[in-house]
Structure 1
Amino acid sequence: MRFDALLLLSFGGPEGPEQVMPFLENVTRGRGIPRQRLESVAEHYLHFGGVSPINGINRDLITAIEAELARRGRSLPVYFGNRNWTPYVEDAVTSMRDNGIRRAAVFATSAWGGYSGCVQYQEDIVRGRAAAGPDAPELVKLRQYFDHPLLVEMFADAIRVAAATLPEPLRAEARLVFTAHSIPQRAASRCGPDLYQRQVEHTCALVAAAAGYRDYDQVWQSRSGPPQVPWLEPDVGDHLAALAQAGTTAVVVCPVGFVADHIEVVWDLDSELAEQAAAAGIAFARA
């Protein structure tokens, strides 16, 4: 199949303090998230000046893709659209229509299946085409890539680099802990029995083997729903506390569920979890 453009489709994120609460309201609309919880999460963004790393990372990715296409002699324009913040997917697809694009490949920045990682991106594509009207380009979403050899290699390399930052006497006994974004248990069954969990577990096994680890743990992080709604567990903070109680002296934490350093990584892990590890006397490295 031939394409005449590429659409990079992502989640979106605020790029200034005044955008933080409107962005979070977009993300959580209709989910019944308490205002107090939104304000708490907003503080995480404001800690970084109200700017999520995700849009900058995606723009760098687009620059790299364009350079690679040029190196291969391919004249293929790259468009950028988001689900929850500017540039919105509706605007991107409308621009594609106006520029005469007829068929485009869509690279979604989530590696996973499941509802939020895959189905919602299909819904974004439908919404973008509807906004562009009857002359909208055909949009073909590329495969999920949770098990792609290059993704596995990237995470394995990152684990080795992170482990090398631990004190040398502790490296051999460091516990490898994989973490991915938790989701409500009821959402976990929307796209087949435990699809998302099974994909995460499979990727962890592939990455651990590639990095040379026979034993590891796989946990969840960054739950945001009402406390009465059950989410996937164990939580990474609870797991770290259990490791500390068991006498663990060092951990390497790999955020395998994230393909870039989002707020959930730079705040939940680099700030909160790192502080928890320091208080427990555990040497901490984050891939």
Structure 2
Amino acid sequence: MFDAVLIVSFGGPQSMDDIRPFLANVLQGRHVPTNRIEEVAQHYEHFKGVSPITELTNQQAVSLQERLKAFGYSLPIYIGMRNWHPLLPDTLRQMSDDGVRNAVGFITAAQHSYSSCEQYRQNVADARAELRAAGKPDVEVTYVQSWFDHPLFIETNALHVREALAKLPPNLRGQARLVCTAHSIPRQMAEESLYREQLDTSARLVAARTGMKEWALVYQSRSGRPETPWLEPDIC
């Protein structure tokens, strides 16, 4: 019997002052050139230091709670972020204090890799270890499995594609090409997971659902050392 849902997400800065501390969390243990860090920081500064991921995750939590209630499940929804507030250790501590003992864990990444899923599970495990070390009751977390090909996930993305097509002039719609983008990861990491294969499946199903015969899967947001090969082609 589950008594709560834990949504696990990446997290993002919510002000200009948050940007560099946030990036320090993201890049912890990685050797990234300072100029590259500043380049990324400037991207966030362009949006006044506010990442939309926190608000979007909050909206997802509200919608999920309403959906669960419609099916007769009155479960509290908690949000824990890997890289910014509310941080996972704080969320797990609150859950423990609230009496939660068995939670459903939902990681907001459809495709599986170490950086998109396994790392988050490890972060949750570390937060649970902190609870036990502090003498607090543990919170067991059972995770939702991969949903990269779930019909509702595919249909939702297809809906966005249709909405975008509708904004094009009628004479250009037939020439439009679908470009599906995803966060790049190191090739070695990709070879140790099903990330690339699951992305390809998701993109293919969305293209089929929308009737788009011309489509491509590309990547963005690579980081780390320039000499380390990452998934390509890059969207640029």
The TM-score with structure 1 as length reference comes to 0.78
The within-5 A match list for 1:170-189 is 170-189=172-191
Q: How does 1:111-150 map to 2 (within 5 A)?
A: 111-133=110-132, 135-150=137-152
Cross-structure match for 2:28: 29
Shift of 1:164: 1.4
Contact 2:111 2:148 in 1 (8 A): yes
Check if 1:167 corresponds to 2:169.
Answer: yes
The code of the aligned residue for 1:200 comes to L
- SS of equivalent to 1:186: helix
Following superposition, the deviation at residue 17 of structure 1 comes to 0.5
Name the counterpart of 2:160: 158
SS of the equivalent of 2:179 reads strand
Shift of 1:73: 3.2
SS at match of 2:174: helix
Other structure's SS at 1:188 match? helix
The aligned residue for residue 66 of structure 2 is 67
Query: What residue in structure 2 maps to residue 264 of structure 1?
Result: none
CA contact (8 A) 1:9 1:80 kept: yes
**Paired position in structure 2 for 1:106:** 105
- 5+ unaligned residues in a row in structure 1: which ranges? 238-287
CA contact (8 A) 1:94 1:136 kept: no
Please show how residues 18-97 of structure 1 align to structure 2 within 5 Å: 18-97=17-96
Could you tell me which amino acid in structure 2 is paired with residue 57 of structure 1?
Answer: L
CA RMSD of aligned residues (A): 1.2
Q: Distance in 2 between matches of 1:129 and 1:231?
A: 32
Deviation at 1:190, TM superposition (A): 3.1
- Between the aligned partners of 1:40 and 1:70, the Cα distance in structure 2 is 44
Percent of residue pairs bearing the same amino acid type? 45
Aligned length: 233
Gaps of 5+ in 2: none
Measured after TM superposition, the shift of residue 186 of structure 1 is: 2.0
Which residue number corresponds to residue 8 of structure 1? 7
* Aligned partner letter, 1:63: V
Matched letter for residue 5 of structure 1? A
Secondary structure at 1:213's aligned position in 2?
coil
Per-residue deviation, 1:226? 2.2
For residue 219 of structure 1, give the secondary structure of its aligned residue in structure 2: strand
> Equivalents in 1 of 2:208, 2:68: separation in Å?
32
Distance between the aligned counterparts of 1:226 and 1:116, measured in 2? 16
C-alpha distance in 2, partners of 1:90/1:3? 20
Q: Deviation per CA, 1:26-53, whole angstroms, max 9, x where unpaired? A: 1011111111111111111111110110
Matched residue SS, 2:37: helix
